[in-house]
């Protein structure tokens, strides 16, 4: 992306400024304090501090290997930090728990269970009786528009449908936080755009904080209240950006100056402009994140 004259991404309209002031007055949902994670002599994450408020939508972006997946796995309680702490509503996170729902890029549905059974699974696990689990699962299936598919198995669904079921399954347990690691990374552009709109719509209606990893700048700016930009070797916070685009979002905002200014700023953070920029652009597209190698 070439540099054009845009206002600063730091300029916020009165409306946007008021929105962020309101968010900061909300209780803290997730707090990360002095978090460091080493694998042997690789420091995947170094001294990360974050404060995320209730019902915020945070996107995380950064070069491959900067520790995004490691961070989300620690938030999920799937991985232990080397030092430092994660607090959810003031309580230390040490293992997975029902107050954190997860959706990853690979389809994580149980292939041997129907759509309805997949969504009922977590509800039954956390002690709901069968009747309650079934009626709640039906409500979720209705919400994601898959009523005709409740008795279908995952292999009978499209990629977008599978991710809708994965989101419903994660939300059915009414988590405080939804952790998403490149959930739409394997979808084609059109399905991906639909899923983004769909996730925004759900988030408007549900009291949940979202922590969403992506390597797609447009996706990050479209979805996020704030964007956490990480840098690699070691993984550290580069900047935690307040997106100056008003909420609620719509796809036509992608052409607004605020949107473009934010995107350009992050682009420069991740890939500082250089003399042979044209050549680098191609390399960048291919190497932006090797998690998606199979897509290219």
Residues interacting with Mg ion, by CB under 5 A?
Answer: 68-69, 291
Among 52, 53, 58, 67, binds ligand ADP (CB under 6 A): 67
Least Å distance, CB 292 to Mg ion, is 9
Q: Which two tokens stand for residue 247?
A: 């909420």
| Sign of torsion over alpha carbons 55, 75, 166, 196 | positive
User: Using an 8 Å Cβ cutoff, are 110 and 157 in contact?
Assistant: no
In the complex with Mg ion, the residue whose CB is nearer, 238 or 258, is 238
Output 65 or 159, the one with its CB closest to ligand ADP. 65
Using rule CB under 6 A, residue 183 touches ligand ADP: no
**42-53 vs 28-39, strand pairing mode:** antiparallel
| Chain centroid, CA 35 distance in Å | 19
Stretch that binds ligand ADP, among 66-74, 84-92, 138-146, 170-178 (CB under 6 A): 66-74
Q: Which does 64 bind (CB under 5 to 8 A by kind): ligand ADP, Mg ion, none?
A: ligand ADP
CB 92 within 8 A of CB 86: yes
Q: Judged by CB under 6 A, does residue 65 bind ligand ADP? A: yes
Q: How far apart are the first and last CA of the chain?
A: 20
- The partner in contact with residue 114, picked from ligand ADP, Mg ion, none with C-beta cut-offs of 5 to 8 angstroms by kind, is none
CB 115 → Mg ion: shortest distance, Å?
27
Binding mask 70-89 for ligand ADP (x = CB under 6 A): x-------------------
User: If you ran DSSP here, which 8-state letter would residue 234 be given?
Assistant: T
Interaction of residue 120 with ligand ADP, rule CB under 6 A: no
**Cβ nearer to Mg ion, comparing 68 with 169:** 68
Strands, sheet with 209-213, edge to edge from the N-terminal-most edge strand? 100-104, 177-181, 209-213, 57-61, 226-231, 236-242
**Residue 44 C-beta: closest distance to ligand ADP, Å:** 3
Q: By CB under 6 A, what part of segment 26-45 binds ligand ADP? A: 39, 42, 44
Structure tokens at 216: 């797609």
* Cα separation, 70 vs 37, whole angstroms: 8
Nearer to ligand ADP among residue 35 and residue 128 (C-beta): 35
Question: Minimal CA–CA distance to 242: which of 6, 1, 17, 5?
Answer: 17
Instruction: Identify whether the C-beta of residue 61 lies closer than 8 Å to the C-beta of residue 217.
Output: yes
Of 59-67, 129-137, 196-204, 244-252, the window that binds ligand ADP (rule: CB under 6 A) is: 59-67
Q: Residue 234 CB, nearest distance to ligand ADP (Å)? A: 9
Q: Rounded distance, CA 296 to CA 283, Å?
A: 13
The listed partner (ligand ADP, Mg ion, none) that binds 67, CB under 5 to 8 Å by sort, is: ligand ADP
Lateral strand order in the sheet of 28-39? 42-53, 28-39, 83-88, 91-92
Residues forming contacts to ligand ADP in the complex (CB under 6 A) are 39, 42, 44, 62, 64-70
């Amino acid at each position: 992306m070439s540099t054009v004259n845009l206002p600063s991404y730091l300029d916020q309209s009165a409306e946007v400024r008021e929105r962020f002031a309101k968010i900061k007055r909300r209780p803290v949902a997730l707090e990360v304090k002095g978090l460091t994670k080493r694998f042997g002599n690789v420091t995947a994450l170094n001294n990360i501090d974050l404060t995320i408020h209730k019902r915020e939508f945070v996107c995380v972006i950064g070069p491959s290997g900067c520790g995004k997946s490691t961070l989300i796995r620690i938030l999920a309680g799937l991985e232990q930090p080397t030092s430092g702490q994660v607090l959810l509503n003031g309580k230390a996170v040490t293992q997975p728990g029902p107050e954190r729902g997860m959706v990853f890029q690979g389809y994580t549905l149980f292939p041997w269970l129907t759509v309805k059974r997949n969504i009922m699974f977590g509800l039954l696990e956390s002690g709901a009786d069968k009747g309650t689990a079934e009626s709640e699962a039906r409500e979720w299936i209705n919400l994601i528009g898959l009523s005709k598919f409740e008795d279908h198995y995952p292999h009978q669904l499209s990629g977008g449908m599978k991710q809708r079921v994965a989101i419903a399954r994660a939300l059915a347990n009414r988590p405080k936080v939804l952790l998403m690691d490149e959930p739409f990374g394997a979808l084609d552009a059109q399905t991906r755009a639909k899923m983004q709109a769909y996730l925004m719509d759900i988030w408007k209606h549900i009291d949940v904080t979202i922590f969403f990893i992506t390597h797609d700048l447009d996706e990050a700016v479209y979805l996020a209240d704030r964007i956490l930009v990480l840098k690699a070797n070691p993984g550290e916070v580069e900047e935690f950006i307040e997106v100056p685009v008003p909420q609620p979002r719509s796809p036509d905002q992608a052409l607004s100056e605020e949107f473009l200014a934010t995107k350009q700023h992050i682009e420069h953070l991740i890939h500082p402009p250089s003399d042979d920029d044209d050549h680098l652009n191609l390399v960048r597209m291919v190497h932006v994140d090797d998690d998606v190698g199979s897509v290219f």
